[in-house]
Structure 1
């Protein structure tokens, strides 16, 4: 694929039935928990993307035996019963928030020295300080090579006893996920008290669901205090990864803006993935939604109206909504998503900047944005900031307007390597 791709407008309603890849969130959590388990687990429906390859590579370097069948999206994991078999490793976590934060906690269980480094956003902007503070409360020695509580980091591990810990998860729920997953194999378990409001609660529901599937119960007191008994073992499982609801959002949005009908197969409206509720956002904007026996179907309506919405719990799809909002008949306001400023890029500023290139009137707030409808989108070359969600979201604009080019389209390899291929098959 070239350094820039021009999206071809689609002049007719898109009618399609689509398989999207497995969930990144489920894949990386299941891989780590399977590595902590006792015995061999078989994980099917695995997503193979840059983020999950970072997890696979790191687990292998940390002594976990993996059998990988890429053709059938299958990985067999020989668990190490909560132990880290190697005492030294150099791990490159790229720009994977889930892998980096989870693996820092995972290596704290070992006995040895484990060095982490990553891509530029991990070194400069993506937060981890609050997780490091929690681990240091638990007696883990962690050194930031730049002395700034960012990567590169060195974990000097001597086992993890556990105990009470205070955690600020207001910037990323992944901090809590990372601690929860290792909690049962510590000696004393963990009693985690949150010191600020938890964001992205559905991602914690995913974590709790997978832990439960592998045999571990978590006491959850109103998402403010979590307790996990220590001295446990995860049980190996045959576990199927469900489709990625965040990835599905782009195709549901495609139905909305082309007045088409798109079915995403094997996706369940009752999934723990918060982003599956994006279809309810589209429904409120004028689309119709059907929950089928084996998928979800969205049909675009004759009227597509704006919305005023709090997207804190489904913030990955806020970019999808922002990209299609100019095609609505009225103003759209997206609120309570300040935390997306600390993701792959400052996603709020990125969306505002690129929408303005397209001639859209946008107001940026500290925690959201307001988008006015527009009669005619201007052609533009979209900067993606090495952010897969920016690239996929703005591709939707190109479906409606000629002359929209996406720079660095390969950034979608992070979660959805075949995205532009599927979009092209649909006519874009």
Structure 2
């Protein structure tokens, strides 16, 4: 299937954002480990969260997490400390996404995990049992989801967990988000040194919990306003917090450099409120930024900056190669269709110095089974009327209602 997208002449609307996928996924694992009886409120209805909810509620012998990398990592750790034997598997792409670092760490702590096909990759056979826990070292440069998966089982380990992160530590805000949520459920977990986290063997406490709206989803509406040519345009959301623990809330700062102002109705700490976005007439002439702590925003800013003629150098993108697709190569390929020559450096940077090429005559963006490709390229309709998005339903992975929200804002979306 293919969508053909045309942008509205003006926007003045309120968008109902989905709940945070990052918080929802962590809340479900902690809820299960706490023995909770009441599901967290305002859970995300995206594919990634749904597979975790279904797995925890039903615990089938074979758990298919489809394309949900977060679910593979979080559930592998959870199943390793939960009695019974399960097989966890996913899509063909998932079977080629590495998980060896996490499996090695879990085995070191006492887990019984067997690879069913290729060594270092799913599917996995996991027999859950009690782990001793203790001291563990893991590279800080691996996916923060490995680290979060280990941290969340820390309180149920006999000796707790002392986790030392060696080398460069990436995506630290996501680690801090995990620690914050663990403490919300009564755990004693925090940084005990610049590179070390200590989790006490103190069980979680069951509690009612409500999920904040998703800053990652908000970033695509920031992009929409940034690409609009109408300076009267305005977008509002509900349910975001000033001072949010979500790593992608940095989008608010970055888009302020690109001409989008954020206004909070309330700035009370920890209280979700209404946010208003307004378009400004000025933006930076160039944007250089290290996305090591928020790599999921890279696609949004590559598309936004290029279409706004803002040269850029984005670093800290090493993990993009092991996401739903190799996002570095996917971005280079799809941006070339639009007429932009994006270069990569050292496998962890994307650079655009203003170099252009002849754009495709009939632009159709491939999404590579990657939700963020569709989400980040859709707002380009402001600059490229009639842009086509292939396989648009990939957005269900994180933002199932995205296309309906686009229509409600005024975008015309035709199906082919």
**1:426: how far off?**
1.4
**1:112: how far off?**
3.2
**1:416: how far off?**
0.6
Q: Quick one: distance in 2 between partners of 1:221 and 1:376?
A: 54
Could you tell me which residue of structure 1 aligns to residue 91 of structure 2?
119
Could you tell me which residue of structure 1 aligns to residue 42 of structure 2?
45
Q: Quick one: distance in 1 between partners of 2:18 and 2:204?
A: 26
Q: 1:271 aligns with which of 244, 250, 256?
A: 244
**1:225: how far off?**
0.9
Q: How does 1:172-321 map to 2 (within 5 A)?
A: 172-222=143-193, 224-230=195-201, 232-258=202-228, 259=231, 260-293=233-266, 294-305=273-284, 306-321=286-301
Moved more, 15-24 or 296-305: 296-305
**1:157: how far off?**
3.1
CA-based RMSD: 1.9
Q: Quick one: distance in 2 between partners of 1:332 and 1:297?
A: 27
**1:14: how far off?**
2.2
Q: Is the 8 A contact 2:336 2:359 kept in 1?
A: no
Could you tell me which residue of structure 2 aligns to residue 400 of structure 1?
383
Could you tell me which residue of structure 2 aligns to residue 61 of structure 1?
58
- 2:407 aligned with 1:424, yes or no? yes
**1:39: how far off?**
4.3
- 2:370 aligned with 1:387, yes or no? yes
- TM-score (ref. length: structure 2): 0.91
Q: 2:116 aligns with which of 145, 156, 177?
A: 145
SS at match of 1:239: coil
Flag structure 1 segments of 5+ consecutive residues without an equivalent. 63-87
**1:188: how far off?**
1.1
Q: 1:27 aligns with which of 24, 27, 41?
A: 24
Query: Structure 1 runs of 4+ off > 4 angstroms?
Result: 372-379
Moved more, 213-222 or 127-136: 213-222
Could you tell me which residue of structure 2 aligns to residue 75 of structure 1?
none
Q: Quick one: distance in 1 between partners of 2:112 and 2:234?
A: 54
**1:342: how far off?**
0.8
**1:7: how far off?**
0.9
Deviation string, structure 1 residues 248-274 (Cα, Å, up to 9, x no partner): 100011111114322222211310001
**1:404: how far off?**
1.0
**1:423: how far off?**
0.8
Flag structure 2 segments of 5+ consecutive residues without an equivalent. 267-272, 412-416
- TM-score (ref. length: structure 1): 0.88
**1:222: how far off?**
4.5
Deviation string, structure 1 residues 155-203 (Cα, Å, up to 9, x no partner): 1333212111111241300111111111111111111111232211111
Deviation string, structure 1 residues 42-78 (Cα, Å, up to 9, x no partner): 411111121111101110233xxxxxxxxxxxxxxxx
Could you tell me which residue of structure 2 aligns to residue 17 of structure 1?
14
Q: Is the 8 A contact 1:160 1:186 kept in 2?
A: yes
Q: Quick one: distance in 2 between partners of 1:290 and 1:222?
A: 36
SS at match of 1:44: coil
SS at match of 1:249: helix
The size of the alignment, in residue pairs, is 398
